[in-house]
Chains A and B, each alone.
Chain A
Amino acid sequence: MSPFKESAIPVDTFHLWTPDPQWNGDKSGWDSFYSYRSMIPMTENSESLVAKKYDPDTGCCAKYNINGLRIEVSLPRLKFSNNFDPITISDFPILIEYLDHLQSMLGLSFDPKSLRIARVDIFRHLEVPYPAPLFIKKLSQIHRFQHLEQKSSAEFYGYGYVRWQNKSRELVIYDKSSQVKQRGNKT
């Protein structure tokens, strides 16, 4: 049985990518334009041109360059401004509306259905009646499983955080209560 409601989407951050967005050339909605290589004069036709837009309210970030358009979104932050609770399927239109808003703001044109998922974070919470570091300290005895391994010691993070990783996957467990106390709602 899932700890979340059935209709909950247990996704936090994900990246969307498309190689061929249409851009009308309007720079006004973007935060910044810069070049990968500072020695090359920046022009709109430069292959090293990068355009960026960061939205502090939602944590959403869009980056446009020669490789295409990449959009980073946190689903819960779109609705709650924090990443604690998942949104539900009925909330999903919020994302589509946001992508529409992004297109008009940045002068872009793309079909949301054509966007590819380039990263996804799936999450779940566990409630325990004892301090989370006790759980993490014990679990961190597992240095490696399957092809994932701990590259940083959990002890370094005061047993508030443990991560197993390789180049393409990560599994992270951390003390959410402590993070919420430290950051308030800005998680």
Chain B
Amino acid sequence: MNTIRGELRLLRTNVCQAEGIETLDSLLNTQHLDELWNKYFQMLLDSSRGFGLGGESTFQGDLANILENTIQSNGFRVTDLAKVICAVGGIEIVLEYLGGQEGFNLWLNSIDIHRQKKSRIRNAIQQLIGIAAQFNESPVEVDVLGDLENWLGLG
């Protein structure tokens, strides 16, 4: 599971006062704090209804997200949405997504593989297999409206 955090920040004394949070004792009124949080997130939820944020299967979104994260990892580059290349000391290890039930094709693209340290190659392959495992969890259902309602305790 992944954790998303929401924070409502009241930044000024007069705003805190207007929202009924004035002294330390106010922090003990947890019901009021919950109500306040709900008030703002209800506004967000109401606004989100017009944006078509209901449940949908987002395999491509997930794929894109994983690849975006992959780009941030050292040593990887992405040629397109279906191909991840991990270059380790001159070797290119390629994870190619073949689509649907076809799964993945992992291949080495190097003429100089024998000069590389085995541990480097093993490490790179393990990382790529890790990415493939994440792909296999797709598709996922992302229902922003439903999740917001759950967050508000309405679900």
**What chain B residues lie within 8 Å of A37 (beta carbons)?**
none
Do the beta carbons of B28 and A119 come within 8 Å of each other?
Answer: no
Is B25's CB within 8 Å of the partner chain A? Answer: yes
Q: Answer whether A12 and B7 are a contact pair too, CB < 8 Å, given A135-B144, A138-B142, A177-B2.
A: yes
**Residue among A3, A144, A158 making CB contact with B68, cutoff 8 Å:** A158
Q: How far is the CA of A112 from the CA of B23 in the complex (A)?
A: 9
Is B79's CB within 8 Å of the partner chain A? Answer: no
Is B101's CB within 8 Å of the partner chain A? Answer: no
Number of A positions contacting B (CB below 8 A): 66
Number of B positions contacting A (CB below 8 A): 56
Task: Give the most central of B11, B14, B58, B141: most A CB within 10 Å.
Answer: B11
Q: Answer whether A7 and B142 are a contact pair too, CB < 8 Å, given A126-B6, A172-B6.
A: no
Do the beta carbons of A124 and B66 come within 8 Å of each other?
Answer: no
Do the beta carbons of B24 and A95 come within 8 Å of each other?
Answer: yes
Q: What secondary structure prevails in chain A residues at the interface with B? A: mixed
Do the beta carbons of B6 and A10 come within 8 Å of each other?
Answer: no
Q: Answer whether A130 and B10 are a contact pair too, CB < 8 Å, given A117-B23, A125-B3.
A: no
**What chain B residues lie within 8 Å of A16 (beta carbons)?**
24
Of A28-36, A41-49, A54-62, A163-171, the stretch lying at the interface with chain B is A163-171
Name B120-146 residues within 8 Å CB distance of A.
140-142, 144
Is B151's CB within 8 Å of the partner chain A? Answer: yes
Q: Answer whether A125 and B5 are a contact pair too, CB < 8 Å, given A130-B142, A142-B47.
A: yes
**What chain B residues lie within 8 Å of A175 (beta carbons)?**
2-5
Do the beta carbons of B51 and A171 come within 8 Å of each other?
Answer: no
**Residue among B26, B30, B37, B142 making CB contact with A134, cutoff 8 Å:** B142
Q: Which residue of B lies closest to A166 (CB)?
A: B11
Is B44's CB within 8 Å of the partner chain A? Answer: yes
What is the distance, in angstroms, from A118's C-beta to the closest C-beta of chain B?
4
Do the beta carbons of B3 and A139 come within 8 Å of each other?
Answer: no
Do the beta carbons of A139 and B15 come within 8 Å of each other?
Answer: no
Q: How far is the CA of A174 from the CA of B47 in the complex (A)?
A: 19
**Residue among A2, A117, A132, A137 making CB contact with B22, cutoff 8 Å:** A117
Q: Answer whether A112 and B24 are a contact pair too, CB < 8 Å, given A124-B151, A126-B3.
A: yes
> What is B's interface to A at a CB cutoff of 8 Å?
1-17, 21-28, 30, 33-34, 36-37, 40-41, 43-44, 46-48, 51, 53, 58, 61-62, 65-66, 68-69, 72, 140-142, 144, 147-148, 150-151, 153
